[in-house]
Amino acid sequence: MSLMFNGIGVSRGTAIGQAYLLRRNQIDVASRTLQKDTIPAEVRRFKRAVKMARAQLLTARDNIPKDAPSDVSSFLETHILMLDDAVLSQRPVEIIKTEMINAEAALQQQREELIKVFGSMDDSYLATRIDDVNHVIDSVLRALDGGTEHVLGSEQWKGQIIVADDLTPADTVTMQHHGVAGFVTETGGQLSHTAILARSLGIPAIVGVPNIRRYIKTGEVITLDGRLGMVLAEPTEEMLTDFRRQQKDNRLRLRELAKLLDTEAITTDGVKIRLSANIEIEEDLKALKRVNADGVGLYRTEFLYMNRETVPSEQDHFKVYTKVVRALKGAPLTIRTADLGADKQATGQLASRTRPQAHNPAMGLRGIRLCLSDTSLFIPQLRAILRASARGPIKMLLPMLTTVAEIKQCLKLVEQVKQSLREENIEFDEKMPIGGMIEVPAAAIEAERFAKHLDFLSIGTNDLIQYTLAIDRIDDQVDYLYDPLHPAVLTLIKMTIDAGLKSGIPVAMCGEMAGDARFVRLLLGLGLTEFSMPPNLILETKRNLITCRRATLKKQVSTMLAAHTCEERQVLLDKINASAPEN
């Protein structure tokens, strides 16, 4: 009998293959009291285990494909740094010596201490990072156990789908190296390092399928749909035929989309649409070029502050921005100033300045609030962006704005930086546009006032929806409330677009909604003509928009906004999308 399992699809793509159940030996940590004269030997045993775990991570890092994004190696480097940190490499030694207990028990005791510390931070991002601590500690425990069976690396797994309780970043990299078709895990979420790596490496993946290993056997054929988050076990021949047809259709769809590379994004009634890309690292530029994007609509700069021990200097910023703007060869680059805080934390020296003990970090000192509170962080970035603006068309985007006063503070700082550059005879674009992100309800309501001080607006839907509906979108107990069609959300988006039109400044959208095929026609009907999204969604969005007439959509969307219930709105949205190409 066929069984269907649903989880969180974290990396798009489909796979058919035999399941391989990864059952690692659970380490039974028993505490033993040591004789005083055996303590030195126990310390040496612990240090050998740390060394062995480190060697395994280095091996995984060395096996990373050359064309893999840089964040892949960064995750492994983070785990290596964690192993080198005194918290994990020295503190257990102290526990062994002072409490005279075995290495496993000392390490377990330290794990419990760290869990308490992370748990008290009340931060969803840090809650995810405790997974990394556990991965690193487990690797040492297994080394202490004398085994290396947990290290993935078998050629026989080529084409198979790994089913595991959890996977470490090292596992994920090694899996890709050995050509596995995909993976399913019982735990994990969208923001886990394993999920991020799966997306970066292009491995179809689903996480968060509890107890799936109880129902699947090694060797059993299963299918995986990373977009829908669906696993099918023991599929019938008819199901397999249908799944293979879907895979074939998807390949055909991608080939058809490729034909749109040089097609202009214009609706049937002549409205020009701007389709830009969201990027985070230089390697994303390759993907942007593959789809002929109209430039970069959102360049996230937080990566400059992560996985490093020191605060990035003005020159660090300048080098990166210059490289990107040159690579774009005249296409516009929108650089968002550091949006640190909440789910994007810095590391190293900067961590203590960006990670205050807030009860609710998402509503605390983050984004522009943090930059204005510590201008020693902000000014080097402002100088670098302005200096880079002399090398190509750059716009500056300010995140997490809530008040006009914040805008005025930012503009005053920018003017001070400009003046210092003039005095130093350093070139920059005097007219570099400065825009603001609309991602809190107050900003959307005040958009018309914001527009009087800014050159453009950009709607960040992820946070806008979260703050409007007062829900944490990564909290699976309330994520069902995360509804982009909520009347309040649509009203705020429309208010922002209308404010831009009234003030004569452009309004773009760079949140996930902009690249979601279910909503792009709705957004066009609301008046949006500038979309920015991950590069791999651009051609699909273009195909969706060039086949429609905006004037018709405006009427349909107007009717939809007047609907009173979610059901009515969904029916009307289905009608709007009815003529869209199949996604």
| pLDDT single digits (tens) 91-133 | 999 999 999 999 999 998 988 888 777 666 554 555 556 777 8
Q: Name the average pLDDT for the chain.
A: 86
Contacts of residues 55-58 at CB distance under 8 Å and 24 or more positions apart, as own/partner, are 56/139, 56/143, 56/148, 56/151, 56/170, 57/83, 57/139, 57/170
- Nearest Cα neighbor of 306 from 125, 437, 139, 438 is 125
* Distant-in-sequence contacts of 419-423, Cβ < 8 A, 24+ apart: 420/383, 421/383, 421/386, 421/387
The answer to whether 58 and 77 are in contact (CB under 8 A) is no
CB burial of 216-251 (b: ≥16 within 10 Å; e: otherwise) equals beeebebbbbbeebbbbbebeeeeeeebeeebeeee
pLDDT of the residue at 225: 92
pLDDT at 150 exceeding the cut of 50? no
Residue 537's pLDDT band (boundaries 50, 70, 90)? confident
Is 71 annotated in some ligand binding site? no
Task: Please work out, in degrees rounded to the nearest 5, the angle formed at the alpha carbon of residue 350 by the alpha carbons of 68 and 392.
Answer: 60
Q: Is 165 within any annotated ligand binding site? A: no
Q: What is the CATH number of domain 260-579?
A: 3.20.20.60
Question: DSSP 3-state assignment of 345?
Answer: coil
Whether the pLDDT of residue 341 is over 60: the answer is yes
Q: Where in the chain is the domain with CATH 1.10.274.10?
A: 29-145
The model scores a pTM over 0.85 = no
Residue 369 annotated as part of some ligand binding site: no
- In the chain, CATH 3.50.30.10 sits at 14-22+153-254
Q: Does domain 14-22+153-254 have CATH number 3.50.30.10?
A: yes
Percent of the chain with pLDDT over 90: 50
Q: Binding site annotation covers 583?
A: no
Q: Is the pLDDT of residue 174 over 90?
A: no
Give the SS3 label for residue 558. helix
pLDDT at 346: 55
142 is in an annotated binding site: no
Q: Is 410 known to be catalytic?
A: no
Identity of the highest mean pLDDT range in 56-60, 198-202, 441-445, 517-521: 441-445
Torsion angle, alpha carbons of 324, 330, 331, 336, to 10: 50
Q: State the span(s) of the chain assigned CATH 3.20.20.60.
A: 260-579
The per-residue pLDDT for 129 is 66
The rounded distance, in Å, linking the Cα atoms of 312 and 295 is 25
Please tell me whether 439 is known to bind a ligand.
yes
Q: Which residue has the higher pLDDT, 519 or 80?
A: 519
Return phi, psi of residue 309, to 5°: -95, -25
Burial class (CB in 10 A: 0-12, 13-18, 19+), 99: middle
Q: Which residue among 135, 150, 193, 317 is the active-site one?
A: 193
Pick the CATH number of 29-145 from 3.40.50.1000, 3.40.190.10, 1.10.274.10, 4.10.95.10: 1.10.274.10
Rounded Cα gap, residues 264 and 81, in angstroms: 47
